Amino acid sequence: MAAWAERLSGVRGVLLDISGVLYDSGTGGGAAIAGSVEAVARLKRSPLKVRFCTNESQKSRRELVGVLQRLGFDISEGEVTAPAPATCQILKERGLRPHLLIHEGVRSEFDDIDMSNPNCVVIADAGEGFSYQNMNRAFQVLMELENPVLISLGKGRYYKETSGLMLDVGGYMKALEYACGIEAEVVGKPSPEFFRSALQAIGVEAHQAIMIGDDIVGDVGGAQQCGMRALQVRTGKFRFQPSRLCPPLHQPCLGRLR
Amino acid sequence: MAAWAERLSGVRGVLLDISGVLYDSGTGGGAAIAGSVEAVARLKRSPLKVRFCTNESQKSRRELVGVLQRLGFDISEGEVTAPAPATCQILKERGLRPHLLIHEGVRSEFDDIDMSNPNCVVIADAGEGFSYQNMNRAFQVLMELENPVLISLGKGRYYKETSGLMLDVGGYMKALEYACGIEAEVVGKPSPEFFRSALQAIGVEAHQAIMIGDDIVGDVGGAQQCGMRALQVRTGKFRFQPSRLCPPLHQPCLGRLR
């Protein structure tokens, strides 16, 4: 454990990914990952600042927090950094009126956004909403714009549900990028702005923080590029695979972190 | 017209794209593009060898030719180079058993292919078949394979139906490539093997042939990379846009080619 103490020296804050680290989503609200409820409780009893930093875009923060509370987690809405509210801020700042290709569960986050006469497309993990018809409509909106703007809530490749691996928004973002010959703007991990807003919320500098996640690119790579340390759990979507990124600190699961 | 004569000197064979050049597909069988029925008839009366070279993958050759014949075109099944039969040949040669993500209209081309215990995925322009569930199943099949093989029938960005622009297979190919971290093998234009098989069928060398199409990448770029000349019609999916490819010879439509 001495090696761990050294590698974690100076850490004042912890950013926790949610899906694949705290729980696997799925029918009936999903399932907590063994040991994670107690691990979160222990972190919160410690002097460390804790913030939840998620790319979840199928649920509003309220719904997500409700699911986690029912599974026993000590978590509140105000502790969560999520891409939908960050997107709404960008839309307002830039006068963008989105055509939304999103899951119904997250639509309430966009309640006060002007969606008349769209001048951009926002996509999130729409799940079954990624029908050909919906994708084609988003494509047509983009092709009709002189300066097409595509905003993607994260760019994850896939995630793990209790029933198995599921395609995430990233592939669909790539599909629209390719079809329209454009590049999307990603709001969420691994965007540096997103990590910085999470750190700012707990008043911790990047070099004093560690990100814990299951995604080698979105969580580990993104955090490392921001100057943070990163720890990859072997739960959720974790699969053994070669990586050219700086090696993260590996732990089998959040519950085993001492 | 002297300039045209010079640019077309030595041409012995013509490869004709179908969708967007001869007709726009759509409900009720689609519509012939003005002048194209007569242009094909005139080409066939000339000493030029003619071959139809299409990435159509929603219909079997039989169905496609039937549609075109009903619109008045002089065309037979044996004159068409299409990606589905080329794919079947590759599957047999390499002992590949596909999981198919394709349109029902082209399924008959795969009638004599072994699809038990799949060891690859074949995608084509599945249209409405590109549901989240079907995409996710293809993704899961690939992720379960030790050496995932993804074969894509063309990689078009979009095409034009009578009702407007429609997403083609290319975006969905990119989505699976990204999600699985793999690269697809493309059968169809702009693959050089595909153009060469079309040329071989009419016994014409690349430098003696011209490709006529509406796709700047699939038709024009692909043909030029094979050493052919290329002509882009301004029908179908044609849109004014900057291109870093060698400039093609532009004509408003096939019917205006003299």
A170 contacts on B by Cβ (under 8 Å): 178-179
Is B174–A175 a contact, with Cβ atoms under 8 angstroms apart? yes
Interval A1-22 mean pLDDT: 87
pLDDT at A253 over 80: no
Q: What is the pLDDT of residue A7?
A: 79
The predicted-structure confidence for A120-130, as pLDDT tens digits, reads as follows: 999 999 999 99
Residues 178-197 of chain B whose Cβ lies under 8 A from any Cβ of chain A: 178-181
B177 contacts on A by Cβ (under 8 Å): 174
Q: Which two tokens stand for residue B246?
A: 């060698």
Print burial letters for B22-38: b (CB count within 10 Å at least 16), e (below 16): bbbbeeeebebbebbbe
Interval A22-40 mean pLDDT: 93
Interval A231-242 mean pLDDT: 78
The answer, for A140 touching chain B at a CB cutoff of 8 Å, is yes
Q: Which two tokens stand for residue B68?
A: 């075109």
For chains A and B, what is the number of CB pairs under 8 angstroms? 89
Residues 222-241 of chain A whose Cβ lies under 8 A from any Cβ of chain B: 241
ipTM of the complex: 0.86
Question: Cα–Cα distance between A172 and B173 in angstroms, integer?
Answer: 10
Q: What does the H/E/C string look like for chain A? A: CHHHHHHCCCCCEEEECCECCCEEECHHHCEECCCHHHHHHHHHHCCCEEEEECCCCCCCHHHHHHHHHHCCCCCCHHHEECHHHHHHHHHHHHCCCEEEECCHHHHHHHCCCCCCCCCEEEECCCHHHCCHHHHHHHHHHHHHCCCCCEEEECCCCEEEECCEEEECHHHHHHHHHHHHCCCCEEECCCCHHHHHHHHHHHCCCHHHEEEEECCHHHHHHHHHHCCCEEEEECCCCCCCCCCCCCCCEEECCHHHCC
Is B175–A177 a contact, with Cβ atoms under 8 angstroms apart? no
Domain B83-187: CATH superfamily, name plus number: HAD superfamily/HAD-like (3.40.50.1000)
Q: Which of A136, A139, A171 is the closest to B178 by Cβ? A: A171
A198 Cα to chain B: minimum distance (Å) = 26
B247 Cα to chain A: minimum distance (Å) = 19
B47 Cα to chain A: minimum distance (Å) = 38
**Dihedral sign computed on CA atoms, order A174, A176, A181, A185:** negative
The answer, for B177 touching chain A at a CB cutoff of 8 Å, is yes
A8-82+189-256 CATH: 3.40.50.1000
The predicted-structure confidence for A203-225, as pLDDT tens digits, reads as follows: 999 999 999 999 999 999 999 99
pLDDT at A6 over 90: no
B133 contacts on A by Cβ (under 8 Å): 128
Is A171–B166 a contact, with Cβ atoms under 8 angstroms apart? no
Amino acid at position A147, single letter: N
In this structure, the dihedral spanned by the alpha carbons of residues B161, B166, B168 and B172, taken in order and rounded to 10 degrees, is -160
Question: Cα–Cα distance between B51 and A251 in angstroms, integer?
Answer: 60
Is B178–A170 a contact, with Cβ atoms under 8 angstroms apart? yes
The pLDDT confidence band at residue A107, using thresholds 50, 70 and 90, is: very high
Which candidate, B124, B162, B153, places its Cα nearest to that of B25?
B162
B200 Cα to chain A: minimum distance (Å) = 31
Question: Cα–Cα distance between B185 and B121 in angstroms, integer?
Answer: 10
Domain B9-81+189-256 bears CATH identifier 3.40.50.1000: yes
Question: Cα–Cα distance between A115 and A11 in angstroms, integer?
Answer: 42
The predicted-structure confidence for B194-253, as pLDDT tens digits, reads as follows: 999 999 999 999 999 999 999 999 999 999 999 999 999 999 887 765 444 456 666 777
A167 contacts on B by Cβ (under 8 Å): 132, 135-136, 139, 175, 179
The predicted-structure confidence for B34-64, as pLDDT tens digits, reads as follows: 999 999 999 999 999 999 999 999 999 999 9
Q: Calculate ∠ Cα B243-B52-B95, nearest 5°.
A: 95
B240 contacts on A by Cβ (under 8 Å): none
Q: Which two tokens stand for residue B158?
A: 């979009």
Q: So where are chain A's domains?
A: 8-82+189-256, 83-187
